[in-house]
Amino acid sequence: MPLQLFEDAYGDIRNAQFLAVASDLAYYPQGQGGPAFKEQFGLEAVLFSVGNTQAYVATDANNIVVAFRGTESPTTIDGLKDWLVTNAANFLILPEGRMGTDFAAAGVGARFHQGFVNAITDIWDPVFAKVQAERTANDRPLWLTGHSLGGALALLAAWLFQRKFVPVHQIYTYGGPMIGNEQAAKAINLAYANKIFRYVDLIDPIPKLPTVSLADSSFIHCECEIGLGAVSQGMTGAAEQLGSLVSQAVNGIINATLADDIWKAVMGRLSAHSLDNYKRRIQSK
């Protein structure tokens, strides 16, 4: 049976399967991704790429799908070490710049990951313009999705769409890291109650970051987490594995050697973070 979206089914595994594949296609250049979206779903897909941030806006007569790319490749997370471990505490701030007002609207005390905010800011204008043009031509459900870093960007985009009075129908992420503190998460949860579905493999370390990468951290997830897989015999869960390393921090400070050890542990479980793994896990459900 071909993959399709079910508008009236919230958190439906069929939607999760569809959007996991869309998140996978977000890693491809236009020459490959455009035809793949058409072949797989019958969607016309346009790639937007600004700096290191990339997203497809894919449409048909019934749906608009925005799929954000994760890191440069679905098989690597190079470049995220500083964001998730080394400098994670310094990134948790009230964003400034032209998007600062929109994120400040999350409320007093809300703080977001500056690196993720910078990434969504880079690509926001063309993606928003395309979505608005599509909605003007034919208003239909808007779906957001992404894997890894792309999952973080999907959640931040949801907040920005809400600020522009553009309704987002549902949001599906796969192996996404945390994007802000408790106040920021609460604001997004309130805006999208029962519309966020975060798929997490229990041994994937990335969804546990930046929180367990810091001895004293305020990062927290948005709802709602859907766990995949099980911790195998002899295999600890990601939280336990990373937590044992973080416990070695002195006075809440992670030195360079400990940061390297944490990152080695993350890289050692990269297969659990892969989108292929997530697609298999979801298919098995």
Q: Where do the structural domains in the chain lie, given as residue ranges?
A: 13-284
**Proportion of the chain above pLDDT 90, given as a percent:** 67
Instruction: Report how far apart, in Å, the C-alpha atoms of 28 and of each of 18, 203, 228, 260 are.
Output: 16, 26, 25, 30
Q: Which residues of the chain have pLDDT under 70?
A: 1, 73-74, 211-217, 231-236, 246, 249-253
- Give the CATH architecture of domain 13-284: 3-Layer(aba) Sandwich (3.40)
pLDDT of residue 213: 46
Which stretch of DSSP H or E encloses residue 238? helix 238-246
Which residues, including other chains, have CB under 8 Å from residue 269's CB and lie 6 or more apart? 203, 204, 205, 238, 241
Contact 112, 105 (CB under 8 A): no
CA dist 204 and 272 (Å) reads 5
pLDDT of residue 216: 53
Tell me the pTM: 0.93
pLDDT of residue 265: 87
Backbone angles phi, psi at 226, to 5 degrees: -120, 110
Q: What is the mean pLDDT of the chain?
A: 90
Residue at 52: amino acid letter: N
